Copies of this chain bind each other. A is one copy, B any other.
Amino acid sequence: MSSVRDVCAAAKAAAPALAGASTLTKNAALQGMAAALDGAHATVLAANEKDLAAARADGVSPALLDRLTLTPERLAAIANALRDLMALTDPVGQVVRGFTLPNGLDVRQVRVPLGVVAMVYEGRPNVTVDAAGLAVKSGNACVLRGSSSAIHSNTALADILRAALAARGLPPDAIGLIADTGRESVKELGRARGLVDLLIPRGGAGLIAAVIADSQIPVVETGVGNCHVYVDAAADLDTARAITVNAKVHRPSVCNAAETLLVHRAVAEPFLPAVAAALRAQGVEIVGDQTAQDLVGAAPAADEDWDTEYLDLRLAVRVVDDLDAALDHIARHGTLHTEAIVTEDRTAARRFTAEVDAAAVMVNASTRFTDGGEFGFGAEIGISTQKLHARGPMGLTELTTTKYIVEGDGQVRI
């Protein structure tokens, strides 16, 4: 088993070849990776069965088992996601800005790959392929550290992808998999200064906090979303109900699902019973403050409910006196991911969008739209909830940096 540092060093050595590869070469590699996956279902499914057997023996939940499971249909979809990347615009080489200085120097700020992108993730084996594909298309080498529960699947997938790179003349080490899935390997990854340019943790709050605490290389935080829907006094209540239900139940397990509903006191009485009925019809359990308890029989919310990302069919409800109270609640409990207001009042909408500090602020739209696919980026490696480098859905562009290229005729500073 290679050490973490060895995998990172091999990826760094492979990075220049990826960085220098043309879009045509990278697209050919993606096509080769997809074809190789299509031709290796038996191998991958056999490896996946080992993971599933271990998971069953460990008695993991049906939901987790489902996330771990690969099928021929899922494998075909994973391969097609690689083919979809071929159609996306390659950000590498784009001139971000360019200008000529008074002394005649021509300056261009050009997009270039980051170099080596590392990712720590949980559960689903499809992330292994998605992340490798995004790295290849953006000209980066990658180092992947998945969870122990998916190690057989991930190893089989990485082997196939590495061979496909080699078949197209690219160094296989540009896709590095860390076989050691112990906690120490995440720490070791965070110490790989000079080898890894970006570390992306993708998973629960605990994983992200652990990565940040130990990492000495730049990290982009992703994914924790304690998202709110605020229904203003001037909301259209049918719209508010539809958005609340969609934000909560469309896919409760993801980061852009709503976890708390804030309702202006002026509309609590007509709105809460209607939305509660609609939510409960979809199986949502409601906890709330005193008013919510009184109006719709919500279970009492504890203090920690306002800070909990349920990722489940559960919603916390609070009635607020005004927009200021809603903004204050969001400032205290939000995770800078996505916040939504439902209102027909443009002053309220303008204040909400200006004052809420989040990657995305929605007016009369579901929180579920904060998504690389929905935004038209074609693919995403995660949703950044930090402010540096990338905020919101991270696509190919967010996997690049820039370089200033300055051309002259012997200019010196005077």
* Residues of A participating in the B interface, judged by any CB pair closer than 8 Å: 16, 20, 99, 101, 105, 107, 109, 112, 114-115, 193, 197-198, 212-213, 216, 218-220, 236, 238-239, 242-243, 245-247, 250, 349, 353-355, 357-366, 368-370, 374-376, 386-389, 391-392, 401-413
Kindly report which residue of chain B lies nearest to residue A214, judged by CB atoms: B216
Report B-chain residues with C-beta under 8 Å of the C-beta of A370. 404, 406
In whole angstroms, what is the CA distance A364 to B407 when docked? Answer: 6
Report B-chain residues with C-beta under 8 Å of the C-beta of A408. 362-365
In whole angstroms, what is the CA distance A404 to B360 when docked? Answer: 4
Across the interface, do B413 and A358 meet the contact criterion of CB distance under 8 Å? no
Choice from B101, B243, B355 contacting A20 with Cβ under 8 Å = B355
Across the interface, do B218 and A218 meet the contact criterion of CB distance under 8 Å? yes
Report B-chain residues with C-beta under 8 Å of the C-beta of A391. 401-404
Beyond the given A101-B369, A359-B404, please list 13 additional residue pairs across the A-B interface where CB-CB is below 8 A: A101-B376, A105-B369, A197-B387, A218-B218, A358-B403, A360-B406, A362-B408, A363-B408, A364-B411, A368-B413, A369-B406, A369-B411, A388-B388
Top 10 closest A-B pairs, CB basis? A365-B408, A246-B412, A239-B410, A387-B401, A389-B389, A360-B404, A368-B413, A218-B388, A388-B389, A363-B407
Copies in the complex: 2
In whole angstroms, what is the CA distance A357 to B412 when docked? Answer: 22
A284 → B minimal CB distance (Å): 15
**Most chain B beta-carbon contacts within 10 A, residue among A107, A239, A359, A411:** A411
Report B-chain residues with C-beta under 8 Å of the C-beta of A354. 20
Kindly report which residue of chain B lies nearest to residue A361, judged by CB atoms: B405
Report B-chain residues with C-beta under 8 Å of the C-beta of A216. 212-213
A393 → B minimal CB distance (Å): 8
| Given A197-B387, A389-B389, A404-B392: A107 and B412 interface contact (C-beta under 8 Å) | no
Across the interface, do B410 and A353 meet the contact criterion of CB distance under 8 Å? no
A250 → B minimal CB distance (Å): 5
Choice from B355, B365, B413 contacting A246 with Cβ under 8 Å = B413
A241 → B minimal CB distance (Å): 10
Across the interface, do B376 and A410 meet the contact criterion of CB distance under 8 Å? no
In whole angstroms, what is the CA distance A409 to B343 when docked? Answer: 10
| Given A239-B410, A375-B101: A198 and B369 interface contact (C-beta under 8 Å) | no
Across the interface, do A365 and B406 meet the contact criterion of CB distance under 8 Å? yes
Kindly report which residue of chain B lies nearest to residue A331, judged by CB atoms: B16
Q: List 27 A-B contacts (CB under 8 A).
A: A20-B354, A101-B369, A101-B376, A112-B357, A114-B387, A114-B388, A197-B387, A218-B386, A242-B410, A242-B412, A243-B410, A246-B412, A250-B413, A357-B403, A359-B404, A360-B404, A361-B404, A361-B405, A361-B406, A364-B409, A364-B411, A366-B413, A368-B412, A368-B413, A369-B413, A370-B404, A392-B404
In whole angstroms, what is the CA distance A365 to B107 when docked? Answer: 11
A111 → B minimal CB distance (Å): 11
In whole angstroms, what is the CA distance A98 to B34 when docked? Answer: 33
In whole angstroms, what is the CA distance A334 to B403 when docked? Answer: 15
Report B-chain residues with C-beta under 8 Å of the C-beta of A359. 403-404
Across the interface, do B101 and A374 meet the contact criterion of CB distance under 8 Å? yes
Kindly report which residue of chain B lies nearest to residue A244, judged by CB atoms: B412
Report B-chain residues with C-beta under 8 Å of the C-beta of A369. 101, 105, 406, 411, 413
In whole angstroms, what is the CA distance A409 to B276 when docked? Answer: 22
A316 → B minimal CB distance (Å): 20
Report B-chain residues with C-beta under 8 Å of the C-beta of A193. 212
